[in-house]
Amino acid sequence: MACSFAPHLHSLPWSSPAKPLWPSLARPNCTASSSSNRTLDSLSISASLSSASVVHIDVETMNDTPSTLRELCKGHMPTTCSSGKAEEVGFITPTHVQRETLPVLFSGRDCVVHAQTGSGKTLAYLLLIFSVVNPQNSSVRRVDLPETTHIYNFDIPKKGHNRRTCNQIK
Ligand SMILES: Nc1ncnc2c1ncn2[C@@H]1O[C@H](COP(=O)(O)OP(=O)(O)OP(=O)(O)O)[C@@H](O)[C@H]1O
């Protein structure tokens, strides 16, 4: 697949906000994009390491990308948020968008994904969120992932309550 950078997607203007809202996630930028008039399989990824330098990642060279979500997430998920939960609800094979973006996200780069509706962007960024939640310290008790909606329900209990994290994916 040829990798072509969407000309209208440039490096994010990191002048705003002045400080990252979530410092632990302050990372160089990455832009993944696909033209909306292409097919689901048509995705290009560009990562900009600073506002001045742009690195293009040719997805054709990513031949060793794991073929299952479980393999893709291996080593990145807390045990309480195992990819087995995702498999239980039928998320076994990653979509093309997930296959291309998750390695970039897990590598620590910010990522803007521009791809067709229904291509699996939401699960990609939710899996990244799950990967950075610390079940030992977090007060997040549960993250619900309704299968087809766009509602992400972070059920945050009062301090001292049950601290299990990401242990339910509905
Ligand atoms: N790996 C997967 N395997 C099976 N089904 C999946 C997978 N990833 C996502 N889905 C399902 O595909 C549908 C579309 O996914 P999702 O909502 O994540 O797409 P999206 O790109 O975020 O769409 P939109 O642009 O409309 O927000 C949902 O019903 C979701 O549950």
- Render pLDDT for 152-164 as a digit per residue (tens, 0 to 9): 334 434 333 333 3
The pLDDT-based confidence of 112 (bands split at 50, 70, 90) is confident
* Residue nearest (by alpha carbon) to ligand 1 atom 10: 120
pTM score, whole prediction: 0.60
Are 70 and 94 in contact, with CB atoms under 8 Å apart?
no
Give percent helix, percent strand, percent coil of the chain, each to the nearest 5. 25, 10, 60
What pLDDT sits at residue 123?
82
**Cβ(103) – ligand 1 distance below 6 Å:** no
Q: Per-residue pLDDT averaged across 42-50, rounded? A: 44
Q: Write down the ipTM of this complex.
A: 0.97
What pLDDT sits at residue 91?
80
**Cβ(34) – ligand 1 distance below 6 Å:** no
Phi, psi of 19 (to 5 degrees): -115, 140
The residue type found at 99 is R
Distance from the CA of 39 to the center of ligand 1, in angstroms?
A: 15
The residue type found at 46 is S
